[in-house]
Amino acid sequence: MTDRFSDHFKLGRNQAELDFIDVPVDTDIALFCDPFAFVVEKSPWFQSCNDVVVRFFQRLISEIGAGNRTEAMRMLGHVGEANEAHLGFSRGEPAGSGIGKNKAAQLYGRLATSKAVQTGWLQDLADCDLFIPGIGKDNISDMTINLIRPKLLQYTRQQCKQLKIPVRNVQGGFCWDEGSSNWMNGYADLPIVDGRRILLIPKAAVRYHLGLQHDEYYRHHVLDFLQAEHSQTSYGLVDLLRKAPPVITKKELKQRYPLSKDYLFEFSNEHPEVLTQYKTEAATKNHALTDELIEETQKQRKLVDIDSIIAKLKSVKPGPTDASDFHEVVLGALEAVFYPQLHMFMKEKELNEGRKRIDIVANNRQSQGFFGDLSSVHHIFCPYIMIECKNYREDIGNAELDQLVGRLSDTRGHFGLVVCRKIENKGRMILSCKDRLNARQDYIIVLDDADILHLLKLRKAGHYVSISTYLHSKLQDLTF
């Protein structure tokens, strides 16, 4: 049986409790890092990744368009396979320098001979699956991973630190340095399995299919447009002849306009509104995979075990002795309940240059559910969700609420959660939270064991809408 990353390091967590893909350590999982996800996601981490990818790719296209083959080849020199991530189609050992050069030459040839590149029309890496022959989701995923490698190295180090995973200081791989416009090879702290480095990938960044797919674009948008256009032209002719309009089938259109990426470019160049409509629709469908869907992709599937999280929470005793254990369990429970609304949960994040610390902070994807509604409906600025954990035997007081208020700001956001063991006087707790709202416009929701257990049971049943509804009721307690 193939070991997963969590098995090898004995994490005692299932996929729902992890922020990253729990990859098999000796093969790959058929998931892909999707640059289009960076375009549509609103969380700060995704936006910063998108900026890196866009700037690199636009410069690359500019160099190719200007005929600067040497410079373009240099830029392509380290965007080949990203074996450390264990994503994509199964491959062998990491590529050596000779293979790397051949890969760069192949990518250059495919880009340089494309009409979409020659005309300067292509601007986004995500569009390559639509318009560049020979470049598919595996290539695009690898390029994306290599371009954001510095951020992934930092992410891997942070995840290993909070999960107490041993690391070694090894070569981290080549990273694109925007300041010097060079690929730089440095060292990084990475987990090692059987002598091989592992690069962890946030599960919110991967997809089973890329957001933009040439065959989907062709079948559901290009052919639909052509069918409507031909029907309209035919209708004008047959109307003059007083005959019923003929129906042209998609099968006939496929024979007349066979699928090729060059044809898709020519069509899109003539009808850019169709491409715009496709991308708009694709953005609404570009959802992060649930933990269950990730497991379905694994060759050896595991149960997304919410009951084990419930058992862990019940086993932790209130009080200072088990405060660290409570913190650990809450981290996994919130990951399971709130993903994919929230992602990139970080434990004991330092703030204000280390002068303060927050127990847990999560990136808000701001795209769906309760946490999306906070910004889009309630107009609460909350790119990050700040969370404090209190393993007290008694009710928390004003000091604990004020501690969280001190972590909220105009840059981090004005919404936070306090997770505690029990609330004896719920009415007084709500009034205390209302006081902070009235004084500083800071929104604080307090959740106790009963709340967390209820949310976990909703998560187990797959009632994601009910999770958001439950949190909305907590928000209404503050605002009414």
How is residue 305 written in tokens?
A: 């075990």
Instruction: List pLDDT tens digits, range 177-201.
Output: 988 889 999 899 999 999 999 999 9
Domains of the chain with bracketed CATH: 5-207 (no CATH), 214-285 (no CATH), 306-479 (3.40.91.30)
Q: What is the pLDDT of residue 179?
A: 85
CA distance 74 to 182: 9
**Which of 27-36, 196-205, 338-347, 353-362 shows the lowest per-residue confidence on average (mean pLDDT)?**
353-362
3 state DSSP class of 426: helix
User: If you average pLDDT over residues 155-159, what whole number do you get?
Assistant: 95
CA distance 75 to 174: 11
Residue 198 CB contacts under 8 Å (≥ 6 apart), including other chains: 5, 23, 25, 84, 86, 156, 190, 191, 192
- Cα-based torsion angle of the residue sequence 88, 203, 96, 188 in order, rounded to the nearest 10 degrees: -170
Q: What is the pLDDT of residue 250?
A: 85
**Which of 96-100, 248-252, 294-298, 442-446 shows the lowest per-residue confidence on average (mean pLDDT)?**
96-100
- The structure tokens 């090692």 sit at 192
362 beta partners: 385
Residue 358 CB contacts under 8 Å (≥ 6 apart), including other chains: 348, 349, 351, 386, 387, 388, 407
Query: Which of 186, 169, 172, 206 has its CA nearest to residue 86?
Result: 206
SS3 for 146-174 is HHCHHHHHHHHHHHHHHHCCCCEEEEEEE
Q: What is the pLDDT of residue 246?
A: 65
Specify the pairing of strand 415-420 against strand 384-390.
parallel
Residue 296 CB contacts under 8 Å (≥ 6 apart), including other chains: none
For the cut 50, the answer to whether the pLDDT of residue 463 exceeds it is yes
CA distance 388 to 357: 10
The structure's pTM equals 0.90
Instruction: List pLDDT tens digits, range 76-86.
Output: 999 988 999 99
User: If you average pLDDT over residues 110-127, what whole number do you get?
Assistant: 90
For the cut 90, the answer to whether the pLDDT of residue 207 exceeds it is yes
Confidence class for position 466, pLDDT limits 50, 70, 90: very high
- How does DSSP classify residue 190? E
